[in-house]
Structure 1
Amino acid sequence: MRRILFSLLLGLAAGAGSLAATAPADTEIVRAVEKWRGERVGRLTAPDGWLSLIGLHFLQPGPNRVGSAADNDIVLAKGPARLGTATFAADGQITLELAAGAAATYEDAPFTKTVLRPEQGTTPGALVKFGTVSLYALERGGKMALRVKDSASPRLTGFLGIDYFPIDPRWVLAATWVPYEKARFVPYTNSRGQPDRALVPGKAVFTYQGQTYEIEPHDDGPGTRPYFVLSDTTSGTETYGAARFLYIDRPAGGPLVLDFNRMQNPPCAFTPFAACPLPAKGNRLPFPVRAGEKRYRGEEH
């Protein structure tokens, strides 16, 4: 079924380089996009989804006192006044020792002192849980941090839903995938102003209204889907200001379908506690893409 749908999309996309003519929405494409929308909202609103984020706290070398009291080094938005001390050692190891009277679990088992296993690529970091709150260690922008989530976060419980442009098969464009002989690391600045880099395995070449464009995706490694970080002339008005993401199945080469109906807001559109990549120059499209997700009504930043 997936191969049939891909062939259908590719056939439609072959003549979709212009939006000048009106085309009826193809039933299969509409169904596929609607299914994707439902799955997307499900992931976003999961108890540990992006809407559950309540903090991203960078660790200083040595001991870091953690808790909700204002005099801690890391002040949690929710949790005990004194959770404990996270010690960031010179070798990169992070040890969390609970304060007297604090209770929490690590990987679902009670503990008093433990070494935190950080997020590694697509492998999630091991969770410390207390009440509805959880935290884990990760690296962002070359620095180690604690990411904090709350399954009862106001952003999650007060989610306003996602607004979309109408599904339009004319925004399903045919492209050619050109793999690079060797994937390259490309530097970029994230939404927090921090330098970072992305692995770029190739480029997608497509034509829109008579002009040819080349866009490059980020590749986070095995088990993930490459994604394009794209802005267009609706960015900052009708759509999220920094960029939107467009995920694709991992390509081998040759024909590729770009379904702009699946353009989605980055995590930063929903929470200030995420660090998102900004688009490279070639990924800043000089035309409006009125497809996919619109600007989130609850956007705060």
Structure 2
Amino acid sequence: MTVVSDLEQDWHTWHAARERDLDTDYGWLSIVAFDWLPDTPKAIEGLAGRWWADDQAHVTASGELTLAGEPVHGTVSASVPEAGSLSWLLYGDRLAELVLRGGRYAIRQRDPRAAARQNFEGVPAYPIDDAWTVTGYFSPYSRTQRVEVSTARDDLRQHITTVGTVHVALGGTAYELVATAAADGRLNVAFHDKTNGEETAPWRTVTTGPVREDGSVVIDFNRTVNLPFAFTAYGTCPAPVPTNRLSLPVTAGEKKVR
């Protein structure tokens, strides 16, 4: 009889939910194209209409596209905040998602029949090891800081809003990792480590537990995940700040998707 610990059971439940979320009709596995919008009307391969952008995004169509279930005849426009997105228009069941990245509008296409989704067999991960559940201490900044970082695209740099640093010891070395805010009082920590490129994606991220009153915070590296760019060539994911580089292999969490 195999005995499964609470840690393992909780992880398997969490990981199954994550894989289901990836494999939805318009999840990260469905992305098939990314196009910056030009400043004059032009066609986009894979979609109908003529598209362009200034301080908003625009498209002119003759009924081939639908907006909220109604055919588009003429020109419609939309905008989103920086780093935001809008599930804007449909071309059949292909979604034209509007995004704003680095001050530039782009259309990201999502297709429920994408090859990445059809071929999806789950996300490989390291064996669960409770030694990778550690406690750190959060030092908030007096005010948030905007930091420019590279991204998964060579033609894009973005700003992230950092909220403080997490002090944590790993492998006998003390680290001070820059964090961004997550929901419910938690923190996101994106990082590089020695597994990157071979066993894992070029970088990964982990969401901590809630910050406690004494500033302590639990980091379960078993729940380290790949960002969307690990699943699609069309991701725009911000890279970690340069200082978030661990000098040891983090053999926990999700591995590279083959």
Q: What is the TM-score of this pair, normalised by structure 2? A: 0.90
Equivalent residues of 2:186, 2:211 under 8 A apart: no
Q: Quote the Cα distance in structure 2 between the aligned partners of 1:280 and 1:234.
A: 18
Aligned residues of 1:116 and 1:136 also touching (Cα < 8 A): no
Distance 1:122 1:44, change over 3 A: same
More displaced stretch, 209-218 vs 138-147 = 209-218
- Tell me the equivalent position of 1:286: 247
Give 1:196's match in structure 2, choosing from 126, 133, 158. Answer: 158
Q: Which string of whole-angstrom CA distances, capped at 9 and with x for unpartnered residues, describes residues 257-288 of structure 1? A: 00000111111111001112222222110001
Partner amino acid for 1:248? T
Cα distance in structure 1, aligned partners of 2:208 and 2:75 = 39
Deviations 1:136-173 (A, max 9, x none): 21111221101110011111111132111011111000
Alignment match, 1:207: 169
Whole-angstrom CA distance in 1 between matches of 2:83 and 2:212:
21
Cα 1:87–1:140, aligned 2, differ >3 Å: closer, same or farther?
Answer: same
Q: Percent identity?
A: 27
CA distance in 1, matches of 2:71, 2:240: 43
RMSD of aligned alpha carbons: 2.3
Q: CA deviation at 1:119?
A: 3.8
User: What SS is found at the alignment partner of 1:146?
Assistant: strand
Provide closer, same or farther for how the CA distance between residues 26 and 158 of structure 1 changes in structure 2, counting only shifts above 3 A: closer
Q: Which residue of 2 is the match for residue 51 of structure 1? A: 29
CA distance in 1, matches of 2:72, 2:168: 54
Any idea what SS the aligned residue of 1:64 has?
coil
Tell me the number of residue pairs that the alignment of Structure 1 and Structure 2 aligns: 254
Matches within 5 A, 1:29-178: 29-65=7-43, 74-76=44-46, 79=47, 83-89=48-54, 92-99=55-62, 102-120=63-81, 124-178=85-139
User: Under a length normalisation based on structure 1, what TM-score does the superposition of the two structures give?
Assistant: 0.78
Bigger Rg, structure 1 or 2? 1
Equivalent of residue 245 in structure 1, options 205, 214, 220 = 205
Matched, 1:236 2:231: no
Unaligned regions of 5+ residues in structure 2, if any? none
Q: Would the alpha carbon gap of residues 123 and 96 (structure 1) be closer, same or farther in structure 2, given more than 3 Å must change?
A: same
CA contact (8 A) 2:209 2:219 kept: no
Residue pair 1:166, 1:291 contacting (<8 A) in 2 also:
yes
Matched residues in 1 for 2:209 and 2:80: separation? Answer: 23
Q: Deviations over 1:25-73 (max 9, x none)?
A: 98222122112101111111111111000111001112122xxxxxxxx
Shift of 1:126: 3.9
- State the distance in 2 between where 1:121 and 1:252 align: 31
- Per mean C-alpha deviation after superposition, the further-off stretch among 188-197 and 107-116 is 107-116
Give, as a single letter, the amino acid of the residue that structure 2 aligns with 1:288: P
Residue 223 of structure 1: how far off its partner (Å): 8.1
Between the aligned partners of 2:253 and 2:194, the Cα distance in structure 1 is 14
Q: Which moved more, 1:123-132 or 1:283-292?
A: 123-132
